[in-house]
């Protein structure tokens, strides 16, 4: 099984920290967010990892190299310009990935054990999402879980936040062409077809979306 880390975003809300630095290379406890993900994937037995590049992608490539330092092989998927958004980035790299593959947002910090995803046997066209408890900046949540399946009913009150961690079958993206394409609409469409399962993770998870949140997590980690 291979994995992909999404690292092509512009990170506009993180300015000026991301003026010359991709958001996933910002540090927590002195270590880049991307490195945490690579090390967790390596510990789970994932030895080939695709990283998509756009904004300041050369910083990622020059810092992490071929991945041998971490015991993995890093494969870079260049998007150029402003990038292709989440689903577009995955579609652009689809030929580099295995039949089932893990995707992690590069701008999160978590202690989630990705090895559990390697034990899930997806059927064709399926996906499995990791949800977390709602943070302060997303109090209404994104999706709910009913009998193991993810739902996007706007009227439900027991919704949780998508963690930016998922397992996909390659055919989940069938009949789609590479373009600037967000992932959320596709997930909602597939949920209506009962093709998306989900789990709720109760553990450490942070969305590093603003300089204030980055400062907060660094303070929490330093005090832990």
Q: Given this model, what pLDDT does residue 223 score?
A: 56
Query: Is 24 in a helix, a strand, or coil?
Result: helix
Closest CA to 70 of 5, 143, 16, 116: 5
Stated as kind and residue range, the H or E segment containing 39 is helix 33-43
Q: Which tens digit of pLDDT belongs to each residue from 9-33? A: 877 788 888 888 899 999 999 999 9
Q: Is the pLDDT of residue 221 over 70?
A: no
Q: Is the pLDDT of residue 78 over 70?
A: yes
Name the percent of the chain lying above pLDDT 90: 79
Name the percent of the chain lying above pLDDT 70: 97
Beta bridge partners, 104, equal 5, 165
207 phi and psi, to 5 degrees?
-95, 115
pTM, full prediction? 0.95
Q: Is the pLDDT of residue 35 over 60?
A: yes
* Dist. CA 28–CA 224, nearest whole Å: 13
Task: Kindly list the distances between the CA atom of residue 151 and the CA atoms of 4, 51, 53, 191, 195, in Å, as whole numbers in the listed order.
Answer: 24, 29, 31, 6, 10
């Amino acid at each position: 099984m291979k994995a992909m880390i999404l690292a092509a975003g512009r990170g506009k809300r993180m300015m000026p920290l991301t003026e010359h630095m991709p958001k996933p290379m910002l540090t927590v406890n002195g270590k880049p967010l991307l490195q945490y993900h690579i090390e967790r994937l390596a510990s789970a037995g994932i030895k080939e990892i695709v990283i998509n590049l756009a904004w300041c992608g050369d910083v990622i490539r020059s810092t992490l190299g071929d991945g041998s330092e971490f015991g993995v092989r890093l494969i870079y998927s260049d998007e150029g310009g402003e990038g292709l958004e989440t689903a577009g980035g995955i579609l652009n790299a689809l030929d580099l990935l295995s039949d089932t593959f893990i995707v992690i947002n590069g701008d999160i910090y978590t202690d989630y054990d990705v090895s559990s995803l390697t034990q899930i046997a997806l059927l064709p066209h399926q996906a499995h999402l990791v949800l977390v408890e709602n943070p302060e900046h997303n109090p209404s949540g994104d999706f709910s879980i009913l009998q193991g399946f993810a739902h996007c009913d706007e009227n439900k009150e027991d919704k949780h936040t998508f963690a930016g961690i998922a397992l996909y079958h390659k055919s989940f993206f069938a009949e789609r062409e590479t373009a600037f394409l967000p992932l959320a609409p596709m997930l909602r469409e597939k949920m209506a077809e009962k093709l998306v399962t989900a789990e709720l993770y109760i553990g450490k998870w942070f969305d590093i979306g603003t300089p204030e949140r980055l400062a907060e997590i660094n303070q929490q980690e330093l005090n832990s």
